[in-house]
Structure 1
Amino acid sequence: MNTPVARHYALAVAPNGARRTHADHPALPMTPDELGACAKACLDAGTAMIHLHVRKADGTHSLEVPDYEAGIAAVRRAVGNELVLQVTTEAVGIYTPAQQIATVRALRPEAISVALREVLPDAAHASAAQAFFAWLWQSQITTQYILYDTADVAQYWRLRASGAIRPGRHWVLFVLGRYSKGQLSSPSDLLPFLNAWHAGVDAQGEASAETPWAMCAFGPREAECALAAVLQGGHARIGFENNLYLPDGSLCPDNAASLGVLTSAARPLALAPMTANALRELTR
C-alpha cells in the first residue's frame, strides 16, 4: 500500500505572552537565555516560527528596542535561521500605536504580528497605520494581522479593497474565543471566522485566496482547535501564551509538549509541520 504524501502546515509557538510569569509555570520563558532554550526545544518539536514577547528587567511586558535586541540575539544563537522570528507589537494597555510602530521601524525584524484594532483603533490613526502597512510591505517584513472577531475580518477586507494592505508578504491570525466565557475556546469558534474570511475571498477575487490564515485558541482544547484549523487548510499557533494545559486538564510540562499534542494528532492524518524556509516561501 502506498504511503499518502503529507500535506504541510505552519506550526508557530507562542511560548510566553505578555502577562504570565514563572509563578504561572516554571518552564515559561522570560529571560533571553530561557527564550533561546525554548526556541531550540520547540524547533526540535516541529515549530517553524516563534512568536516573541520580551520582558523588562522586572519581568513586565516590553516593546523596548534593547529588550527585543537581547531576546532576538539569544534566539538566533540557539537556532540560527531555522525559525522565523516574529516580533509582537502587542500594546497590553501600555504602548500607543505610535510607539508600536516606532519599535518595528527601529528593529526592522524578519516578521511581526500586529492587531488591527490596536494600531488602527479609529479614523484618527488611519493615515499613520496605512503608511506603516505600506512601509512593512516595501521593507519585506512579513506581517501577520491579528483578527479577534468577524468585525476585524471585515475591517481587514476593507483595507485590502482600498489597497491599504497589499497582496502578499502577510498572513492573518484568527484568535478563537478571546471574548468567550472564561476565555475557553472550542473548534466551533472557528466557523464564524471562516465564513467571514471566505466571504471576503469571494468578494476580492482570485489573488485574495492565496493569503494564508492561522489561528490560536485558549484553554485545554487548544490542540483540538488547531487540528480543526489544519484540516480546513489553515495553520496553527500553540503555546503557553494562551494555554498551560494538556487536553486531559493536567498541567503541560513545557511548550514543546504543547506542540507535540497537535503533531501527534495530525501525523496519522498525513499532516506534517513545515520548515521555517517553507513558511517563508508561503508568506513571501
Structure 2
Amino acid sequence: MIAGTSIPFVMVAPNGARRTKADHPALPMTLSEIVETARSCHAAGAQALHLHVRNDDGSHSLDAGRYREALAELAEAVPQMKVQITTEAAGIFDVSAQVQCLTEVAPRWASVSVREVARDVELAPSLYAACAEMACEVQHILYDVDDIKLLQQWQQRGIVRPGQDSVLFVLGRYSAGQVSSPADLRPFRASLPGVANWMVCAFGPDEHACLAAAAQEGGALRVGFENSLTAEDGNPHADNAASVAALLKRIAL
C-alpha cells in the first residue's frame, strides 16, 4: 500500500523479455513506445515501471547503454514514476553479465532472480555487495517455496545484506496456458509471513483476480503485458494502460 492510504502500490510490467508485437500489437518494444506506455500507465494509476530494454532486432537486452538512455528518457517524461530495471537472464545471459549490467548501470532499483543468481553462487556476494554500495534497492524474484528457502539461507549467511528484503511472488509461469489463481499466493505468504515489502505478479487470464487478492492482504501489485495480455473473459486488453485502469477499478469496487 502507498503510505498513509488504502491505495495499493501498482507497478506496470509492459513487455518482458520474450513477447513481441506478434503477441499483441500494443506491446512496447522501442524506447519511444516504452516511454509513451509509461506516460499512459502513470496517467491510469501506475506508480512504477518494470523496465526491459530490447536490441534493435527486438531481442532481450541487458545493455548498459540502452538502460541508461531509457532511464534518462523516462526520468524526463514521467519524473514521478519509479523505474526498476530487470536483470532477467531469459536463457541468454550468465550471472557475470547480470552483475556487469548492475555495476555499469548503477540503477536505483533492480529485480534479481535468486534462482538465476544461484547458477553461479560464488558471484552472489559481489552482486549484493555492489547493490548495497550503490544504494540500489533489490527486489528478489521468487517463483516457489524453494526460492524462498534459498533467499533465507543467503540472508542467514550475510550474502544478502540487511535491508535487501523486498520480494516479488510470481504466480504461474511462462508456459503453455500460463495460468495462475489466487490460491497460489498461500504458500508464499505462509513461507514468508513476516515480510513487509512484498509484491505479486500473476500469469494468465486470472491475473487481476490474483492481484486483487494480494491487495486485500496489503501487497503491492505488478500488472501488465509481461504477465498477461487478456482479461478474465479471454478478451485482450487494448494496451497496458487499459489493464492498469481495469485492475484499479476492480480493487476500488
Question: 1:245 Cα shift?
Answer: 0.3
Q: Separation in 1 of the partners of 2:137 and 2:75?
A: 18
Structure with more helix by fraction:
1
1:151 matched to 2:146? The reply is yes
Tell me the amino acid that sits aligned with residue 248 of structure 2.
T
Q: Separation in 2 of the partners of 1:40 and 1:238?
A: 15
Q: Is the 8 A contact 2:10 2:46 kept in 1?
A: yes
SS in 1 for 2:177: helix
| From 229, 240, 248, the counterpart of 1:255 | 240
Q: Is the 8 A contact 1:31 1:71 kept in 2?
A: no
Tell me the amino acid that sits aligned with residue 265 of structure 1.
R
Q: Separation in 1 of the partners of 2:127 and 2:48?
A: 23
Question: 1:135 Cα shift?
Answer: 2.0
SS in 2 for 1:182: coil
1:187 matched to 2:188? The reply is no
Matches within 5 A, 1:154-173: 154-173=149-168
Residue in structure 2 matched with residue 271 of structure 1 by the alignment: none
**1 or 2 for the larger relative contact order (CA 8 Å, sep ≥6)?**
1
1:245 matched to 2:240? The reply is no
Residue in structure 2 matched with residue 278 of structure 1 by the alignment: none
SS in 1 for 2:204: coil
Could you say if the C-alpha distance between residues 180 and 16 of structure 1 is closer, same or farther in structure 2, counting changes exceeding 3 Å?
Answer: closer
Q: Is the 8 A contact 1:16 1:240 kept in 2?
A: yes
Alpha-carbon RMSD across the aligned residues, in angstroms, is: 1.6
SS in 2 for 1:216: strand
Tell me the amino acid that sits aligned with residue 17 of structure 2.
A
Q: Is the 8 A contact 1:88 1:113 kept in 2?
A: yes
Aligned residues: 250
Residue in structure 1 matched with residue 21 of structure 2 by the alignment: 22
Matches within 5 A, 1:191-206: 191-198=186-193, 201=194
Residue in structure 1 matched with residue 209 of structure 2 by the alignment: 224
Residue in structure 2 matched with residue 272 of structure 1 by the alignment: none
Question: 1:251 Cα shift?
Answer: 0.9
Q: Separation in 2 of the partners of 1:169 and 1:45?
A: 30
Residue in structure 2 matched with residue 106 of structure 1 by the alignment: 104
Q: Separation in 2 of the partners of 1:167 and 1:191?
A: 26
Could you say if the C-alpha distance between residues 253 and 169 of structure 1 is closer, same or farther in structure 2, counting changes exceeding 3 Å?
Answer: same
Residue in structure 2 matched with residue 74 of structure 1 by the alignment: 73
Residue in structure 2 matched with residue 127 of structure 1 by the alignment: 122
Tell me the amino acid that sits aligned with residue 161 of structure 1.
Q
1:142 matched to 2:141? The reply is no
Q: Percent identity between the aligned chains?
A: 43
Could you say if the C-alpha distance between residues 194 and 181 of structure 1 is closer, same or farther in structure 2, counting changes exceeding 3 Å?
Answer: farther
Q: Is the 8 A contact 2:172 2:204 kept in 1?
A: no
Could you say if the C-alpha distance between residues 21 and 224 of structure 1 is closer, same or farther in structure 2, counting changes exceeding 3 Å?
Answer: same
Residue in structure 2 matched with residue 58 of structure 1 by the alignment: 57
Question: 1:166 Cα shift?
Answer: 2.5
Gaps of 5+ in 1: 202-208, 269-284
Question: 1:72 Cα shift?
Answer: 2.0
| From 205, 209, 213, the counterpart of 2:198 | 213
Question: 1:180 Cα shift?
Answer: 7.6
Q: TM-score, normalised by structure 2?
A: 0.94
Residue in structure 1 matched with residue 36 of structure 2 by the alignment: 37
Q: Is the 8 A contact 1:42 1:255 kept in 2?
A: yes
Q: Separation in 1 of the partners of 2:175 and 2:210?
A: 14
Question: 1:155 Cα shift?
Answer: 1.0
Quick check: which has more Rg, 1 or 2? 1
Tell me the amino acid that sits aligned with residue 78 of structure 1.
A
